[in-house]
Amino acid sequence: GENVEQHPSTLSVQEGDSAVIKCTYSDSASNYFPWYKQELGKRPQLIIDIRSNVGEKKDQRIAVTLNKTAKHFSLHITETQPEDTAVYFCAARFQGYSTLTFGKGTMLLVSP
Amino acid sequence: DTAVSQTPKYLVTQMGNDKSIKCEQNLGHDTMYWYKQDSKKFLKIMFSYNNKELIINETVPNRFSPKSPDKAHLNLHINSLELGDSAVYFCASSQAASFVLAAQETQYFGPGTRLLVL
């Protein structure tokens, strides 16, 4: 089955810095890669996603890049703000299946 | 914000008891899921249902039995609760199981049910 590795497990940055979270996946047939943000005590919420026919996608301060050859994808957050503090999960979906395999999460702490 | 709802929000119970968690979505989605999030925050899929039919059953003890009375509801019944069942259980839904449009793939999560087994 699909396996998703996520790094780092924790990331501390100063407000205004950039943050990068990286994920690798095992199954080359995976074709959908969402990123979820989970604030403390809240539900995971989709912040951005990318499909395998696209190399990069951007939405304001967040962007995701995908390298299909290397089977890795990354989340980039620029101009971080304290409200970006949360756990971020990457996920991958194996083609033909509906379920997502999640990475183990990255705790991002943005200090004012 | 009530697109996917779960009850109860908190559940504290003794080992050996049987309990149920209910989930409802009003998004008109065809596919619903149950996830377990353990103390280390790891999110793991348990079950997936499409139009009331079970399509995915990950390696979950048979003490866990999902039931989908209609495509808007997916309930989770747990028999003989164990200490290791303590976790947050999230229900989620997506528009379809077979994805033609990217928008159909987004999974929307419920608020979670925090289960503590004593």
Does position B100 have pLDDT exceeding 60, yes or no? no
CB B55 to CB A98 under 8 A? yes
Joined tokens for residue B8: 């109860």
B99 DSSP assignment: -
CB contact under 8 A, A98 and B98: yes
Among the ranges given (A70-79, A93-102, B41-50, B97-106), the one the predictor scored with the smallest mean pLDDT: B97-106
Q: Find the helix or strand (DSSP H, E) in which A4 lies.
A: strand A4-7
The chain A residue lying nearest B56, using CA atoms, is A99
Candidates A99, A101, A105; nearest CB to B48: A99
* Mean pLDDT score of chain A: 93
Q: pLDDT of A29-42, one tens digit each?
A: 888 899 999 999 99
Residue A98: pLDDT band with limits 50, 70, 90: low
Give tens-digit pLDDT for A44-61: 999 999 988 889 999 999
Q: Which of A43, A24, A32, A15 is nearest to B3 (CA)?
A: A43
- Burial environment of residue B105 by CB neighbours within 10 A (0 to 12, 13 to 18, 19 or more): buried
Chain A residues with CB under 8 Å of B102 CB are 32, 49, 51
Residue A11's beta-bridge partner residues? A108
Which candidate in A37, A42, A87, A99 is best for mutational testing of the B interface (most B CBs within 10 A)? A99
Q: Mark yes or no for CB contact A104/B97 under 8 Å.
A: no
**What pLDDT is attached to residue B2?**
67
Burial B17-43 (b: 16+ CB within 10 A, else e): eebebbbbbeeebbbbbbbbbeeebeb
The per-residue DSSP string of B20-84 comes to EEEEEE-S--SEEEEEEE-TT--EEEEEEEETTEEEEE-S--TTEEEEEEETTEEEEEE-S--GG
Write down the pLDDT at residue B50.
83
Nearest CA in chain A to B97: A98
